[in-house]
Structure 1
């Protein structure tokens, strides 16, 4: 039989991560390699295929039309391998915990704190599952979730962690110049970056701000808040945040909040698990630890329920 004509796995892995995250820098962080290594692997894949997969400029890499056509096949292949690998594994031991968490929350809040959980419970093994487009708890594949749930199930246990507050953020340069953001009405002069599974975020905020008649463009939408936030950092428009997940970028001066208005969204941040499993040691450990981490985080003060 002829040998399979497959690109190197490392090149495919770099391409899949960069395409999924929309950033060579974020892909490098996920894969534990340098940004230049990701770029090199993608370049080698392009040379092997004889096509350009990413459109590069000084600040960002975007999929070309060819890349957009190629990515779903690579993503689906990786998803199938991951699913079958998970199915082959024996049932998780009581010290192995898989947590469903959105990539924005994982990168911007949870991962920097997990070292404390590891220190407190050195026998525990934590896996983060971030490949979710759906909002609700996926009990078939994870033990617990740090999520926004739109449709709650009576079979699940939920604990409110903090409120989800909508706040626009943008690059500092958008506060200057002839089209400077001074009032919410000035948003008409700029592109509103949004997550295509949560278009109502902007609608909710604009309504609270008293701004009418602004429609979202269908030319550029994202599947995660962190990608919209990265685009905002690059000055491509104004993104919406749903929690304190731009705190570091604001401290570093990469992002600013152009308006003080914070608007509660319809969904709170929750801890979730199967109701029958909530007292399992590994799940209870993580829940209690997570609640304590949230209570100790001053950046969450504005997101707590009043009186708590």
Structure 2
């Protein structure tokens, strides 16, 4: 007797909404309207005869039945995606999809992509800088570049390189921080914070042993890029993150305020989908990126 399965589209709606705990975020991921996601899940609930979500005015959560059903649906969709990718000649010219934080993408990855294009001229690369957790392979990504203190279970993680922290500002702003003895006085500075960063000003101050600097105030931005731009405009002192700040230091638009560089506990990692080592183009991209990271680490200042 053939298995009776729910239609695929509502299952995709349910999986995405269950993962994000949001119809709106699921709709954005699947490129449909939130209304389509909501109606699709209502139809799925009617077909299954159970409620999958608890819908509250500002909160969406899974029912016990939904929480129990979600991992089965996620695994099933992942298996379908993985099996499809392993088919011979399946979308042989498919674009390699990479998820990467915007500042790392613009300041480290993009300037190097021409090297990959020379090696693989018939392979395209798509870089997505939107935030959010990536689910392999349901989300359609082949790789993700992430910052983390350690690998996370559930995917293949390979360390790329670490990060060093140093205060930076514009040359003109530096002049305003010089005290009568000719030393830099950070107590005079407006500190520029990056709100999502796990290691920010307090971590650098603690590691450097500098006392008397108020780290709670200042300006706050949600991206490293904006923090650097604010520092370039003379709005304060940002915590430079090398290698991301290296091009500004080389150009002189930003200057380091201290020789003291703190090695961050976090590092950049390449996260690979399960099938990355079975397709020549994906394996080629992975090997190329690891060589670029190794060469970059080798030429950095000690």
Write the mapping of 1:2-41 to structure 2, written as runs, cut at 5 A: none
Partner of 1:108: 107
Show structure 1 runs of 5+ residues with no match. 1-75, 304-308
Spell out, residue by residue over 1:182-211, the C-alpha distance to the aligned partner (whole angstroms, 9 max, x if none).
657x22211111111125321111011112
Write the mapping of 1:101-180 to structure 2, written as runs, cut at 5 A: 101-132=100-131, 134=132, 138-139=135-136, 140-141=138-139, 142-150=141-149, 152-177=151-176, 179-180=177-178
For residues 26 and 275 of structure 2, the distance between their equivalents in structure 1, rounded to whole angstroms, comes to: 28
Shift in Å, 1:220: 2.7
Task: Point out the structure with the larger strand share.
Answer: 2
Normalising by structure 1, what TM-score? Answer: 0.62
Show structure 2 runs of 5+ residues with no match. 1-22, 33-80, 86-90
For residues 183 and 273 of structure 1, the distance between their equivalents in structure 2, rounded to whole angstroms, comes to: 47
Partner of 1:216: 215
For residues 297 and 152 of structure 2, the distance between their equivalents in structure 1, rounded to whole angstroms, comes to: 31
For residues 145 and 207 of structure 2, the distance between their equivalents in structure 1, rounded to whole angstroms, comes to: 27
Spell out, residue by residue over 1:114-158, the C-alpha distance to the aligned partner (whole angstroms, 9 max, x if none).
1121121112111101111x5x65434321022212563322111
Spell out, residue by residue over 1:239-265, the C-alpha distance to the aligned partner (whole angstroms, 9 max, x if none).
113321222222221011111111111
For residues 212 and 264 of structure 2, the distance between their equivalents in structure 1, rounded to whole angstroms, comes to: 20
CA 209–80 in structure 1, closer or farther in 2 if over 3 Å, else same: same
Residue 84 in 1 paired to residue 31 in 2?
A: yes
Tell me if the contact between 2:201 and 2:239 (Cα under 8 Å) persists in the aligned partners.
yes
Spell out, residue by residue over 1:90-132, the C-alpha distance to the aligned partner (whole angstroms, 9 max, x if none).
9883532111111111111211211121121112111101111
- Following superposition, which runs of at least 4 residues in structure 1 exceed 4 angstroms of deviation? 76-82, 181-184
RMSD of aligned Cα (Å): 3.0
CA 173–77 in structure 1, closer or farther in 2 if over 3 Å, else same: farther
CA 151–160 in structure 1, closer or farther in 2 if over 3 Å, else same: closer
Tell me if the contact between 1:166 and 1:243 (Cα under 8 Å) persists in the aligned partners.
yes
Partner of 1:8: none
Tell me if the contact between 1:144 and 1:271 (Cα under 8 Å) persists in the aligned partners.
yes
Normalising by structure 2, what TM-score? Answer: 0.63
Residue 201 in 1 paired to residue 148 in 2?
A: no
Spell out, residue by residue over 1:252-308, the C-alpha distance to the aligned partner (whole angstroms, 9 max, x if none).
2101111111111121111111345444323321111112223334785247xxxxx
CA 84–204 in structure 1, closer or farther in 2 if over 3 Å, else same: same
Partner of 1:225: 224
Partner of 1:236: 235
CA 220–176 in structure 1, closer or farther in 2 if over 3 Å, else same: closer
Task: Specify the structure having the higher radius of gyration (Cα).
Answer: 2
CA 157–263 in structure 1, closer or farther in 2 if over 3 Å, else same: same
Tell me if the contact between 2:187 and 2:214 (Cα under 8 Å) persists in the aligned partners.
no
